[in-house]
């Protein structure tokens, strides 16, 4: 059985100073004392992985900038053993309230190539609505510090739009502020109801097109539904996710994906820090998919990427009948103006980008 070796390594640090009321990602605010044990567990987890030649590294959370710097540095010393000259990109997430000179020295010393800052908005009114514990001024202050302490690093700024009850004016101001700062990369996420902070409304309006237009006019190339980059600064690690390439995920709540010739396997670690520390090698969840579902997943995820999906390539392992069904679904989407074709690549049209959920729904229905 042919096995492809892992490409990406994701490391989850589930520690935050404050739990933001809109965030559904796994993190803890009162477990800082568990950090020594957590890093020991991470080391064990990492050492157990077969492939050590990762081409991308992403340290996310949680809030990597709020952890104990000595513990993080000691862990990175061990982790770097596995980065044997093939690492092309390494990213670390950070929050404005915990980025300080010590943290930036560490980022510089371990030669991270990207830092991703969770800003969300440059309006203090919106930040407080989101229960963030930093101000807009903190964002501007730390941005300047990053440029000073880590001159070679690429910066990503995260923002959220379509926040219930927030006027587009605030979103527009955030975009203008970001453009003025001139980061290499901007992630603009449409607000998702991962928690019950706001009541879910059923309006289908979105500011996606405006966000896209302002960012593209400023020279940011949209390469994925929520991601914009200056030329050459696309996130390789995330492109691998959307293309369902192999990756290892270590830490609580982290997922690993492996492609085999006949199936795709997803393995998830426990989203309970105590269980993870107790047995860092255990998996809490396992999902296996087989053709033709593997191909359909590649189509559904791949359509998020602006360059689209090579239809013939994803269909190599599936029988002609299912391929026809998928092809007919794409032709129906084309007739409705939701996708276009560029040679054998199927890509979302502007209308399709707005109606991505319906496009995905129709494609999932093609499963036998």
**Contact positions toward ligand SF4, by CB under 6 A?**
16, 19-20, 23, 25, 27, 61-63, 95, 118
User: Per rule CB under 6 A, is residue 257 in the interface with ligand SAM?
Assistant: no
Q: Rank residues 118 and 183 by Cβ distance to ligand SF4 and give the closer one.
A: 118
Of ligand SF4, ligand SAM, none, which one does residue 19 interact with (CB within 5 to 8 Å by kind)? ligand SF4
Of ligand SAM, ligand SF4, none, which one does residue 194 interact with (CB within 5 to 8 Å by kind)? ligand SAM
Close Cβ partners of 62 (under 8 Å, ≥ 6 residues apart): 12, 13, 14, 15, 16, 25, 26, 27, 93
Closest separation in Å from C-beta 4 to ligand SAM: 27
- Tell me whether the omega of the peptide bond preceding residue 141 falls within 30 degrees of 0, making it cis: no
Q: Rank residues 191 and 241 by Cβ distance to ligand SAM and give the closer one.
A: 191
Of ligand SF4, ligand SAM, none, which one does residue 72 interact with (CB within 5 to 8 Å by kind)? none
Q: Rank residues 95 and 240 by Cβ distance to ligand SF4 and give the closer one.
A: 95
344: number of Cβ within 10 Å: 12
In whole angstroms, give the CA distance from residue 326 to residue 337: 17
Closest separation in Å from C-beta 61 to ligand SF4: 5
Q: Which of 23, 42, 107, 130 binds ligand SAM (CB under 6 A)?
A: 23
The dihedral sign for the CA sequence 297, 300, 305, 307: positive
User: Per rule CB under 6 A, is residue 298 in the interface with ligand SAM?
Assistant: no
Of ligand SF4, ligand SAM, none, which one does residue 192 interact with (CB within 5 to 8 Å by kind)? ligand SAM
In whole angstroms, give the CA distance from residue 160 to residue 166: 11
List the x/- string, 46-75, binding to ligand SAM by CB under 6 A: ---------------x-x------------
User: Per rule CB under 6 A, is residue 191 in the interface with ligand SAM?
Assistant: yes
User: Per rule CB under 6 A, is residue 93 in the interface with ligand SAM?
Assistant: yes
Q: Rank residues 166 and 329 by Cβ distance to ligand SAM and give the closer one.
A: 166
Contact positions with ligand SAM (CB under 6 A) in 159-178: 160
8 Å CB contact between 285 and 268: yes
In whole angstroms, give the CA distance from residue 139 to residue 119: 7
User: Per rule CB under 6 A, is residue 118 in the interface with ligand SAM?
Assistant: yes
Of ligand SAM, ligand SF4, none, which one does residue 311 interact with (CB within 5 to 8 Å by kind)? none
116: number of Cβ within 10 Å: 23
Of ligand SF4, ligand SAM, none, which one does residue 98 interact with (CB within 5 to 8 Å by kind)? none
Q: Rank residues 94 and 299 by Cβ distance to ligand SAM and give the closer one.
A: 94
Q: Which of 97, 158, 177, 234 binds ligand SAM (CB under 6 A)?
A: 158
- Scanning 20-28, 69-77, 165-173, 313-321 for contacts with ligand SAM by CB under 6 A, the matching segment is 20-28
User: Per rule CB under 6 A, is residue 22 in the interface with ligand SAM?
Assistant: yes
Per the listing, tokens 């993190």 go with 27
User: Per rule CB under 6 A, is residue 234 in the interface with ligand SAM?
Assistant: no
Binding site for ligand SAM (CB under 6 A): 22-23, 25, 61, 63, 93, 95, 118, 120, 158, 160, 189, 191-192, 194
């Amino acid at each position: 059985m042919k096995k492809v070796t892992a490409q990406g390594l994701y490391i989850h640090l589930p520690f935050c100073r404050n739990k933001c009321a809109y965030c559904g990602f796994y993190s803890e605010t009162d477990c800082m004392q568990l950090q020594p044990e957590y890093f020991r567990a991470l080391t064990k987890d990492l050492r157990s992985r077969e492939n050590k030649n990762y081409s991308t590294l992403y340290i996310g959370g949680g809030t990597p900038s709020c952890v104990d710097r000595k513990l993080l540095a000691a862990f990175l010393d061990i982790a770097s053993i596995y980065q044997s000259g093939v690492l092309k990109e390494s990213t670390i997430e950070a929050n404005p309230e915990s980025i300080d000179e010590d943290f930036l020295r560490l980022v510089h010393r371990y030669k991270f190539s990207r830092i991703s800052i969770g800003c969300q908005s440059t309006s203090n009114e919106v930040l407080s609505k989101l229960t963030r514990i930093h101000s807009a001024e903190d964002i501007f202050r730390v941005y300047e510090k990053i440029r000073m302490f880590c001159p070679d690093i690429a910066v990503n700024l995260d923002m959220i739009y379509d926040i219930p009850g927030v006027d587009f004016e605030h979103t527009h101001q955030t975009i203008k502020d970001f453009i003025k700062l001139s980061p290499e990369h901007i992630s603009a996420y449409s607000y998702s109801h991962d928690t019950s902070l706001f009541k879910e409304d059923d309006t289908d309006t979105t500011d996606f097109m405006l966000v896209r237009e302002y960012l593209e006019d400023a020279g940011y190339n949209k390469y994925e539904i929520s991601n914009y980059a200056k030329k050459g600064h696309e996130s390789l690690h995330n492109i691998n996710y959307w293309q369902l390439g192999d990756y290892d995920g270590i830490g609580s709540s982290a997922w690993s994906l492996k492609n085999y010739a006949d199936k795709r396997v997803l393995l998830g670690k426990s989203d309970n820090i105590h269980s993870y520390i107790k047995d860092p090698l255990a998996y809490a969840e396992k999902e296996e998919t087989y053709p033709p579902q593997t191909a359909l997943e590649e189509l559904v995820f791949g359509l998020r990427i602006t360059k689209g999906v090579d239809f013939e390539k994803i269909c190599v392992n599936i029988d002609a009948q299912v391929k026809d069904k998928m092809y007919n679904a794409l032709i129906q989407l084309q007739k409705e103006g939701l996708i276009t074709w560029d040679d054998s690549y199927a890509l979302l049209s502007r209308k399709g980008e707005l109606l991505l959920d319906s496009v995905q729904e129709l494609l999932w229905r093609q499963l036998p």
